[in-house]
Chain A
Amino acid sequence: MALRRIVRAVAQRDVVLSLAGGGGWLQGIVFYAVFVAFMAFAFGPGEDALRRAAAPTIWLATLFAIQLAASEMFIEDIQDGSLQTLAVEQTSLLGYVIGKLAGVLIIVGGPLIVAAPIVSIMFAVGATNLAILLPSVAMGALALSLAACVASAINAALQGGGRFTAILAAPLSIPVLIFGIDATSLAIESSQIWSVEMQFLTAMTLFLMAIVPGFSVLALRLGLE
């Protein structure tokens, strides 16, 4: 199918580019590690304080790492003419946008999701099974990437150079953050995976999945005019 073919092609290209270009994928995870270390310094080495800070730290680090990476996700394709070519030659840009999102999730989201249990060990979380926080963090990475995607598309259309994405993404990210931190806390503290918070987080993610690709395509096409 044409859509799946384009999604795969774009995602694959972005992954190869980030591996070849000396570190798109590194940028996210390094930022994440630095942020986590700073939070540990901020909260002090006391185990109680660290345990309470575990879920917020994971979430804020994920939010900022994704926003950092996604804020310029379309700029390069606009500057080198790739996006213009695709917009003219393809019937739809939907596959392209989904491919870009998949690329961000693989390049930035993937390492962050893997790092979340490691952070929770470092933050003195005593849960026996650390994989229990993965579903909420993975869902959150998806939702936050979606929020950053539409903000980045609007920003690119305005030729804003990436500075502006955070302001546009903030209102969309706040509900994700609120439910996400609670969902992860509950997973850590009482091994609840499918908590009410997780259900709301899922609902928010589905909502963003429904509106983000369409509006992003619209904004990108506008930017090309």
Chain B
Amino acid sequence: MLSYFSNPARFEAFARWASPLALLVLFGCLAFGIPMGLYFSPEDYQQGHTVRIMYVHVPAAIMAELVFGFIALMSLTAFVWRHTLADACARAAAGPGAIFAALTLITGSVWGRPTWGTWWVWDARLTSMLILFLTYIGYIAVWQMGTDENKSARLARIVGLVGFINVPIVKFSVDWWNTLHQPASLLRADGPTIHSSMLWPLGLMALAYIALFSWFVLSGVRTSIYEKQIARRAQPLASRPIKPEQMAAGDQNG
């Protein structure tokens, strides 16, 4: 399937209908998800209305991690099969991924204030999300820093893969560090089991995030395809040999 979409023309044909579809799904899910989450779903018996932050926070957290997996998969695809469109996919995914991670941190912090009584705690999940955010920043910076797109793409593959391998190691080490240094006096983000009246809006919001992400990636890749086409047209003419045979014969003086 990946090889099928490695052709820009085919990708363009796919994106032409997939892109509006993603927008449709996005707005459809938001139209139902937001009212359900913010109004119709019950409030938590302990946290009250604060629990509604969950509908923004949890899907963002899940997406932040999934998107880095996507970047790693695309990096691997580009690494092994040399599909440059996979590079474009990874690049287009990085921005939304970083925003999801930032959103997770911000909403987590806003939620933490009434619940934990502080804007920030070095909770294991928040800490590893912070490091994931840093990894995103590093990945994006590789794309931003380079002057040669082709070179940046190939370096970004390395950063994407190494960063991805590092994510579980960070999670493990931060968990270790957290349980060792902080006695379990804090509330954990998972609480009681989730009731189905909360599950529905949560699922819709997660779907909305996925649709939004898909739209971002599709648009990003299309932009990069167009950019490449424009760059190709603007390219200066390459040097060519000037009548090599004649020259070689004429200059022979040994």
In the complex, the number of residue pairs spanning A and B with C-beta atoms less than 8 Å apart equals 74
* Shortest Cβ distance from residue A144 to the other chain B in the assembled complex, whole angstroms: 14
Is B155 located at the chain interface by the 8 A CB criterion? yes
Question: B152 touching A167 by the CB < 8 A rule?
Answer: no
Question: A225 touching B170 by the CB < 8 A rule?
Answer: no
Q: Which of B28-73 contact A (CB under 8 A)?
A: none
Nearest residue in A to B171 (C-beta to C-beta)?
A175
Chain B residues contacting A171 (CB-CB under 8 Å) are 131, 134-135, 138, 163, 166, 170
Is A178 located at the chain interface by the 8 A CB criterion? yes
Contact of B155 among A172, A175, A211, A219 (CB under 8 A): A219
Chain B residues contacting A26 (CB-CB under 8 Å) are none
Binds A, one of B102-110, B143-151, B228-236, B243-251: B143-151
Is B165 located at the chain interface by the 8 A CB criterion? yes
Question: A167 touching B155 by the CB < 8 A rule?
Answer: no
Distance of A194 Cα from B165 Cα, bound (Å)? 26
Nearest residue in A to B147 (C-beta to C-beta)?
A159
Distance of A219 Cα from B162 Cα, bound (Å)? 12
Question: A178 touching B141 by the CB < 8 A rule?
Answer: no
* Shortest Cβ distance from residue B188 to the other chain A in the assembled complex, whole angstroms: 20
Binds B, one of A38-46, A100-108, A150-158: A150-158
Interface string of A158-200 (1 = CB under 8 A from B): 1110001001101110110011001000000000000000001
Question: B159 touching A154 by the CB < 8 A rule?
Answer: yes
* Shortest Cβ distance from residue B138 to the other chain A in the assembled complex, whole angstroms: 5
Question: B151 touching A223 by the CB < 8 A rule?
Answer: yes
* Shortest Cβ distance from residue A199 to the other chain B in the assembled complex, whole angstroms: 12
Is A9 located at the chain interface by the 8 A CB criterion? no
Chain A residues contacting B166 (CB-CB under 8 Å) are 171-172, 175
Is A63 located at the chain interface by the 8 A CB criterion? no
Question: A167 touching B169 by the CB < 8 A rule?
Answer: no
Count residues on chain B whose CB falls below 8 Å from chain A CBs.
Answer: 28
Is B174 located at the chain interface by the 8 A CB criterion? yes
Question: B141 touching A164 by the CB < 8 A rule?
Answer: yes
Is B158 located at the chain interface by the 8 A CB criterion? yes
* Shortest Cβ distance from residue A164 to the other chain B in the assembled complex, whole angstroms: 6
Distance of A134 Cα from B20 Cα, bound (Å)? 61
Is A61 located at the chain interface by the 8 A CB criterion? no
Question: A222 touching B151 by the CB < 8 A rule?
Answer: yes
With A171-B166, A175-B169, A178-B174: A154-B154 Cβ-Cβ less than 8 Å: no
Is B80 located at the chain interface by the 8 A CB criterion? no
* Shortest Cβ distance from residue B170 to the other chain A in the assembled complex, whole angstroms: 6
Question: A215 touching B158 by the CB < 8 A rule?
Answer: yes
Chain A residues contacting B151 (CB-CB under 8 Å) are 157-158, 222-223, 225
Is A204 located at the chain interface by the 8 A CB criterion? yes
Question: A158 touching B146 by the CB < 8 A rule?
Answer: yes
Contact of A157 among B131, B137, B155, B165 (CB under 8 A): B155
Contact of A168 among B131, B138, B169, B172 (CB under 8 A): B138
Is A218 located at the chain interface by the 8 A CB criterion? yes
Interface string of B159-194 (1 = CB under 8 A from A): 100110110011011101100100000000000000
Contact of B158 among A167, A172, A218 (CB under 8 A): A218
* Shortest Cβ distance from residue B182 to the other chain A in the assembled complex, whole angstroms: 13
Question: B131 touching A215 by the CB < 8 A rule?
Answer: no
* Shortest Cβ distance from residue B64 to the other chain A in the assembled complex, whole angstroms: 14
Q: Which of B89-142 contact A (CB under 8 A)?
A: 131, 134-135, 137-138, 141-142
Chain B residues proximal to chain A, CB less than 8 Å? 131, 134-135, 137-138, 141-142, 145-147, 151-152, 154-155, 158-159, 162-163, 165-166, 169-170, 172-174, 176-177, 180
Given contacts A178-B173, A204-B169, 12 further A-B contacts (CB under 8 A): A154-B158, A158-B142, A159-B146, A167-B138, A167-B141, A172-B166, A178-B174, A207-B169, A211-B162, A215-B162, A219-B155, A222-B151
Closest 8 CB pairs of A and B: A175-B173, A178-B177, A178-B173, A158-B145, A171-B135, A167-B138, A168-B138, A158-B146
23 contacts between A and B (CB under 8 A): A154-B142, A154-B155, A154-B158, A157-B155, A158-B142, A158-B146, A158-B151, A159-B145, A159-B146, A168-B142, A168-B159, A171-B135, A171-B138, A174-B170, A174-B173, A178-B176, A182-B180, A204-B169, A207-B169, A211-B165, A215-B162, A219-B158, A222-B155
